[in-house]
Structure 1
Amino acid sequence: MKKMTTIFALLLFLGTLFSCSKDEAKLNDLDPEKATVSFGSLLNDMVGNKTALKDDLDDLPECSDAIPAYAEVAMTRGEAWAVGSDTNPIRVELNPNPSDFDGDGVDNYFTEESSELELVPGFYSLEYFKIFDADGNMLWIAPRSRGFQNLVENSLPLPISLKAGVKKYVSVDVICFDDRVVNEYGYLFFDVQANELIKFCIFGNFCNEDGRHFPAHFNVNVWKYSGDSNNPRGPAITSNASNNVGVNDAGDAFGDPLCVFLPDSEGSDEYYFEITLMESDAYDAQPGIIRSGVITDDDVRALYDGEDNTDYFHFREGNCGGEDTPDLFDNQLMADI
């Protein structure tokens, strides 16, 4: 079994703050022709969109529960860097005294005032955003439009429009311990919410007419189940992920299991799978979809064996004389191709 990985979605709420004596005092100290930016973070639970994960991210570290201390931010205006840069982001300290600003019972961490986040009105793009603890350990990062982008509601770069005298609430999603560059901008308050990634691993055999078993070569596509049996594909989670196959030094064909990450929110989650048998030098078979259907997060967790291990879903295609273990897919749902 593989690790369960916690991800954090950083939500920025878009809006304008109206007359409040404390906020007015701060605004009056700033150039009225500029917009002001700040950051706040709240650890909570949330559902974000999903994406395909890279094969080399098979062992994601678990998210730290350390206390966030500061953020690194960079954003562009037009073709030029306007706040920091990807190689030299600005550092914005977090207020050590969090408070529940949105009334949901969970405290938010706010960034301190920063003159570098007092910006002239205009259109900006958030390109880089990371959060660190007091020891300089990176806790969360906003993914760019690759790799993890569909695990979050909005990946970077993120367009932002600032107007004079406005405090901006903008939504940006983050996940844990990823190296991608992320950018941030304007007077922003961030709300951090937590999702878990659960891992689902697949192994398969193809059996010829004589009943001989071969390791199957296959690919997998996964979507969030739309709820419509006639059109089951919702937002994409994993696209065209395939397992590694080959021939070892002894001349025997081999196939590796394939593991995919599935976002797991509070409550029940449903995922629509399509597993396609692919061509192989080891056997002669017609390529095509061999398994399809909806499974739930409970189905995935049922394969977990303790905290750090998971059993595989094992399919048997052809004249194998046995059923899938466990028997998850009824092939009743099939999207139009």
Structure 2
Amino acid sequence: MPLSILDNFYLSDEELENSPSRQHGIDRETETTLRVYGCDLIQEAGILLQFPQAAMATGQVLFHRFYCKRSMKDFNVKKVAATALWLGAKLEEVPEVSQHPEKLVRKVLVTVDRICSRREDAKPSLLELSSKAYASFREALVRYEREMLKAFGFITHVHHPHKQMLNYCQVIRADTAHHALMQEAWSIVNDSLRTTLCLRFRPHVIACGAIFYAARRLHVALPEEPPWWRVFGVEEAGMFEVVRVMHELYQRPRAEHIPVFRHILPSKPPTPVLSPAPGAEKRGGPLDGASAERGAVPAAPVAAAALAAGLGGAEGGGGGSAPRAPTSIGGGGAPRLT
């Protein structure tokens, strides 16, 4: 594949432990909870919007990748989830993106906000399109989308394990003999998108882990002589790690939002500093001690007096020339602002 040399989306465990959020003081449990929460938002909103599963899956992968580049303290989890869903719909070519893009943006924003409001408020509210909250949310979506593309280097291709899982089930004859196994493995693959498995393992490893875990949950025997997963080039260690992570996910309570985003208030604009024009110091600077003793007069009063004298001469008809602009008197330049 031509893009394989640019495929830098798979990280080691050490790199995941040193994510930007961890560097900003967010502990592992909080980061994991917020990752699950954001992916839940994407999945639920996608279902309500009747998006294809590929769009929701792509959005969840992009969500995880983004928080490997940026911190949860700098980018709001809810708004990143909405942006990832919108970008996933664009990448998977949801028809409404090209037909009615503005209408689809409104649907995404209102749906995500409604889900968050229903989860967190006793009396959920509806996001009004004419409100400042909607305008702020839409502006954030545009800004976050641009930030996502910059973080990814505009490389947004995603490979999902769903298709490989179905092919593997056909190879081991699990699609006809045990249809429930294939359905269970499909659900496990979908749920794996709530974890960072998509950042640690390639799709064929996740596919084998989902089949293995589904077989154990349904007590279905699969070929083990030779082990079926080795036929697909998967090692036991990677497959068992996928099973362990998924088992821990199913033991977790429902993820709730934890406020970690820091609202950075706009700082007061600095006071402008006026620099002197070139050569101003030569034409006239601050009064030194000698000129002060001689009683030098500041430039502004002298200039005003000169202008008044000129106007008086013009009115009396003594001088027919027009008044000249005030000139600088030696040592009487305007003070510098520092």
Give the TM-score category using the shorter length.
Answer: under 0.3
More strand as a share of residues: 1
Task: Give me the TM-score of the superposition, normalised by structure 2.
Answer: 0.24
Q: Could you say which structure has the greater relative contact order, defined with CA pairs below 8 angstroms and 6 or more residues apart?
A: 1
Task: Give me the TM-score of the superposition, normalised by structure 1.
Answer: 0.24
